[in-house]
Amino acid sequence: MSNVEERFRKMVEDSQDWFWEFDENANFTYVSPGIRNLLGYEPEELIGVNAFDLMDADEAQRVRRHFDPIAKKYLPFKNLENVNIHKDGYKVVIESSGTPIFDKAGRFRGYRGIDRDITERKATEEALRQSQANLYEAKHMAKVGSWQFDIENNRLTWSDETYRIFGFKPQSFDANYEAFFDAVHPDDRALVSDAYSGSIRHGQNDYEIEHRIIRKETGEVRYVHEKCRHERDASGKAVQSIGMVQDITERKVTEMALLAATQAAEAANRAKGLFLAKVSHEIRTPLTTIVGFGELLEDAELTSEHRKYLAAINAASNTLSLLINDILDLSKIDAGELVIRLEDVHLPNLIDKLAKSQELQIAKHSLSLHVSIDADVPDLLVGDPLRIQQVLHNLLGNAIKFTAQGAISIDVSVLEEGASRVLLDISVTDTGIGIAAELHERIFEPFAQVFDANSRHYSGSGLGLSISRSLAGLMGGTVELESQVGTGSAFHLLIPLQKKTVDISEKPLPEIEPISGSMPALNILLVEDNQINIQFIKTVLENLGHKVMTAENGKVALDYLNTNVFDLVLMDIEMPVINGIDTLKTLRELEPLSGKHLTVIALTAYALMGDREKYLKMGFDGFLKKPFTTRELVNELIRVVPG
């Protein structure tokens, strides 16, 4: 054997592929050792074995259909795929190539060739094919199309799905920019072209937009989401854009329907709230008269029978007043009309005042009250003291109402402390009847009570907790409950409050001037919505010997003026419900009926528009610019009060 032959022999014998020869009947006459690697046989095992016996019957039949016509013509074959069975029984995908063998006389003697295992390659190809199919399917299902725009040559290519999204048969024409732009909803065309050319001009490579298209055939409007990316050459010039377009009509329609429904529901709730607010406000006016006259009647001479009736009327009208106030609050919250104010909150004072207001009730029930405020709770914070007080009043009132014996405690602690805010836990704990776990959430709903109000055992409307939680929510907090039947309840007002940086707590009230000799004691109505101002002005006036009634806005003031006689009105200008100017207008319009002129002083914080002349022209008798001193107040009183 020559060197060359030897080298070829070695190559054949060492190869991982399998070299073979078979005769005209396809029975093997030579099998290289590569067979071990490929099908697990020893070469000599296969000598004389038919090549098609290495396949199962169906596969053999399939392969013969390809092979026989080739063999008939003694042609070579290349990369003929066939599945053989490994000695261990599993399938191996093989690629066979062969050339015919002829003997010296030129007679066909069989084939000589090489087989190669392509199982792995086939598996990869199959996986790729499958994933492409999946992608296609997914794109179709998600209604995602793709496109490519060759900017240089002004050529646009669309995927099948893109054609479908735009309402065309896939590849039914050559896509172009005009066809696309034509389909864009006329109102969205500027948006689309600005996004596209704008991003190219400004060197921005990616953008996303949502716009509408109109399908030409049907006139149907669809919503699409487009994502686009520009590819630029070395000089930064955009040469190609690729993009995807997704039909989002269903999502958009659902979103819009949801939004409309939410808006309608909110509007309905607001309308309900406004209606209730109006009605309860209207009820409050005559009710004030009933309560007022009821109280007056108590001083009259009555028979004991009549006194009993009167007590019942007064008790009922008081209950009604409380209920109306609750409904008014709840409806204001629903109507979004309840405004949270930011003022100084001095917690120790606030809780002290609260405890004092309930002293009688606590004593009546033979309960004890303990207050503890942790040392790290800042004395002075910023929040809405009135609303905090209202929530705690509700909670304390309930604790007293539902506790037959034992103790009630109010504890204040810091839950979290930040640089400018603290989260406080103000809890009201009682040793009362407790609340079953399954009712812990329900009792916060309006009108929800554990015991039916008709049982008459416990009074109340079932609105207190609902209002308390809503108020806490408006202040950024909430009300939580821990309770066990028979052991007691702990209601926690969790509320964030701002820290006050400079401590100006308890600024002393200004020096009080002695009552001026000539000034008579006056019946004054103070119309003002700011609690701090009320406190200040009221104290000054009362110390001067005057009687002061307060109204928190113009509407309430007009109600009071209906049923009471005042010598003087101090009227704030900026107030909710009815402002000072409108209140004065109404008041002056009614004056011809009574024939009396009521002296009204304007209180204004608006220094800029606050020139005295302007207010006097409007019909005010006097004018005070906030903040004013006691001296200024007294001087203005002396100036405007006749005599």
| Closer residue to ligand ADP (CB): 314 or 461 | 461
**Other beta carbons less than 10 A from residue 482's beta carbon:** 14
From 272-280, 396-404, 409-417, 602-610, span contacting ligand ADP (CB under 6 A): 396-404
Question: What are the distances in angstroms from CA 16 to CA 40, 84, 90, 433?
Answer: 12, 16, 19, 88
Exactly one of 331, 449, 533, 604 binds ligand ADP (CB under 6 A); that residue is 449
The structure tokens listed for 4 are 């060359």
The structure tokens listed for 544 are 């001067």
Exactly one of 98, 110, 145, 464 binds ligand ADP (CB under 6 A); that residue is 464
Residue labelled with tokens 């290289």: 32
Do residues 280 and 331 lie in contact, with contact meaning Cβ atoms separated by under 8 Å? yes
DSSP per-residue string spanning 159-227: -HHHHHHTT--TTSS---HHHHHHHB-GGGHHHHHHHHHHHHHTT--EEEEEEEEE-TTT--EEEEEEE
| Closer residue to ligand ADP (CB): 167 or 446 | 446
| Measured distance CA(532)–CA(542) in Å, rounded | 15
Write down the least CB distance from residue 370 to ligand ADP, Å.
16
Strand order in the sheet with 91-102: 28-31, 18-23, 108-117, 91-102, 77-85
Encoded one letter per residue, x for contact with ligand ADP by CB under 6 A and - for no contact, window 418-447 reads ------------x-xxxx-------x----
Residue 599 near ligand ADP by CB under 6 A: no
Residue 333 near ligand ADP by CB under 6 A: no
Write down the least CB distance from residue 435 to ligand ADP, Å.
5
| Measured distance CA(307)–CA(586) in Å, rounded | 39
From 18-26, 106-114, 166-174, 398-406, span contacting ligand ADP (CB under 6 A): 398-406
Residue 358 near ligand ADP by CB under 6 A: no
| Closer residue to ligand ADP (CB): 71 or 435 | 435
From 373-381, 455-463, 522-530, 584-592, span contacting ligand ADP (CB under 6 A): 455-463
The structure tokens listed for 497 are 């409050």
| Measured distance CA(208)–CA(11) in Å, rounded | 59
Exactly one of 102, 136, 309, 451 binds ligand ADP (CB under 6 A); that residue is 451
Contact set for ligand ADP, span 250-279 (CB under 6 A): none
Exactly one of 349, 389, 461, 586 binds ligand ADP (CB under 6 A); that residue is 461
Do residues 502 and 496 lie in contact, with contact meaning Cβ atoms separated by under 8 Å? no
| Closer residue to ligand ADP (CB): 97 or 461 | 461
Write down the least CB distance from residue 430 to ligand ADP, Å.
5
Write down the least CB distance from residue 288 to ligand ADP, Å.
22
**Other beta carbons less than 10 A from residue 604's beta carbon:** 22
| Measured distance CA(307)–CA(313) in Å, rounded | 10
Contact set for ligand ADP, span 165-224 (CB under 6 A): none
Write down the least CB distance from residue 445 to ligand ADP, Å.
9
| Closer residue to ligand ADP (CB): 39 or 391 | 391
Write down the least CB distance from residue 394 to ligand ADP, Å.
6
Identify the three-state secondary structure at position 235.
coil
Strand order in the sheet with 547-551: 547-551, 523-527, 568-572, 599-604, 622-625
Contact set for ligand ADP, span 468-527 (CB under 6 A): 489
| Measured distance CA(479)–CA(395) in Å, rounded | 10
B/e letters for 97-131, b = 16+ CB within 10 Å, e = fewer, are ebebbeeeeeeebbbebbbbbbeeeeeeeeeeeee
Structural Rg of the chain based on CA atoms: 46
| Closer residue to ligand ADP (CB): 450 or 640 | 450
| Closer residue to ligand ADP (CB): 369 or 380 | 369
Determine the size of the site formed for ligand ADP (CB under 6 A): 22
Contact set for ligand ADP, span 50-69 (CB under 6 A): none
Residue with the shortest CB distance to ligand ADP: 460
| Closer residue to ligand ADP (CB): 188 or 329 | 329
Write down the least CB distance from residue 327 to ligand ADP, Å.
12
Give contact residues for ligand ADP (rule: CB under 6 A).
Answer: 394, 398-399, 402, 430, 432-435, 443, 448-451, 460-466, 489
